[in-house]
Structure formats: structure tokens, C-alpha cells
Amino acid sequence: MSQFAEFKFNVGTIKIEVFSDKMPITSANFVDLVNTGFYNGVHVHRTIPNFMVQFGCPNAKDPRSGKAGTGGPAPGSSYTCNGQTIKRNAGGSIPDEFRNPGCPKLSNEPFSLSMANTGQPDSGGSQFFINTVHNSFLDFFDKSTPSQHPSSAKLWRDRTSSCRSTTVQPPRTDPTRLCSASLLPWWSKHMAVLTF
């Protein structure tokens, strides 16, 4: 079953469906980071029009840091997935779930969230990006490029304005900042579609 999260930015709010049933290792890592407040206060550190918006680096709590985009969870930290403890490696990264047989082929479609990595095996940790267009060349099953970025979530409800709110590039004195991240109750998706 999917889980749902809400990310409140200084410029707007996005709601995310996390594919916990399809991508359990990657999703459990994301949920652990949300639950521990890891994402609170980080800034969007990379925006490329007609491509993607990237955030999730702890070094980007300072938007002017030269290390923004290079950080991740604490090396050797762990989280739980389906009752099993998964230990992050010496770089704070998780195992590449897409290398497991039978991993679902979820494409980097518009409004999907994908795990950022360095291109090396097992190098994804906390950073992810929102695809603003269909970036199929980033799919781990698309062999046209060496890029391998698994999609494990998507924006839901009012996606266009939600995505627009994170791609706004305010003046450098007020960059886009993630104020808080939280999990939502499972029924919140159904409540969100009710209109009065």
C-alpha cells in the first residue's frame, strides 16, 4: 500500500504518494528520513527548467554552501523495511533496489520523484528530484544512456501548481526552502478529492 507525505515549502505545498508496495527499500528510506525530520529546513539546490527540481541534501540547509548537493544521511545509519534493518553504507547511501529481479519499471514521468545518485552503484541516499517532463532516458531500464534513477513516488492532487511552486526561483536572498515534511494518514488522499 502506498504512503502519503506532505512537504511544506516557503513558496507552497506539495503532496506525495510514496510507492511503499512497489519500491519498499527506497520508500522506507524516504519515510525514515521524513519521520526523523531529516528534510526539514533543506533548500532546493538544483533547478533545471524543462527537466527537474532536486532537493534533499542536508548541506543545502545553507543555500549558499558549496557542498549543497553532495550530502546524505549519516554513514552507517539504518532504517527498517518490512521488519528488516537496512544499514546505509559508508557514504550514507542505500542499496540499489532497481538491481533486484522483478523490480517494477516505473518511468521518470512528469511529476514523478526519483532517487538521485552519483552514477556509481549504491550511491543514492536522501536526495531526489521531481521530473518536470518525461525523462525516460533516466530510467534504469532505458539503455540509451548510463543513467539509472529509480522512480519511487509521485506528486498527487493539483500537480501543476504544486510543481510550479517548487520551481519558482525567488531572489537569492530567499531561495526555495522545505520548511517541514510529514507523513499523512492513509485516508488523506481520499479526503483531498472531496469538494463542497
- Among candidates 125, 130, 103, which has minimal Cα distance to 12? 130
Which of 2-11, 84-93, 180-189 has the highest average model confidence (pLDDT)? 84-93
Greatest pairwise CA separation for the chain in angstroms:
51
* pLDDT, position 85: 98
* pLDDT, position 171: 40
pTM: predicted TM-score of the whole model, two decimal places: 0.86
Q: Which residue has the higher pLDDT, 140 or 190?
A: 140
* pLDDT, position 186: 56
- Cβ atoms within 10 A of the Cβ of 190, count? 9
3-class DSSP state for residue 12?
A: strand
For 128-171, the pLDDT digits (tens) are 999 999 999 999 999 999 999 999 999 975 555 545 545 545 44
pLDDT at 9 over 50: yes
* pLDDT, position 172: 45
* pLDDT, position 195: 28
pLDDT at 190 over 70: no
**Residues linked to residue 181 through DSSP beta bridges, in sequence order:** 7
Per-chain mean pLDDT for the chain = 87
pLDDT at 100 over 70: yes
Mean pLDDT to the nearest integer, 163-190: 61
Q: Measure the CA angle with vertex 59, ends 61 and 28; round to 5°.
A: 95
One-character DSSP codes across 178-190: EEEEEEE-TTHHH
For 14-24, the pLDDT digits (tens) are 999 999 999 99
Mean pLDDT to the nearest integer, 8-31: 94
Mean pLDDT to the nearest integer, 54-61: 94
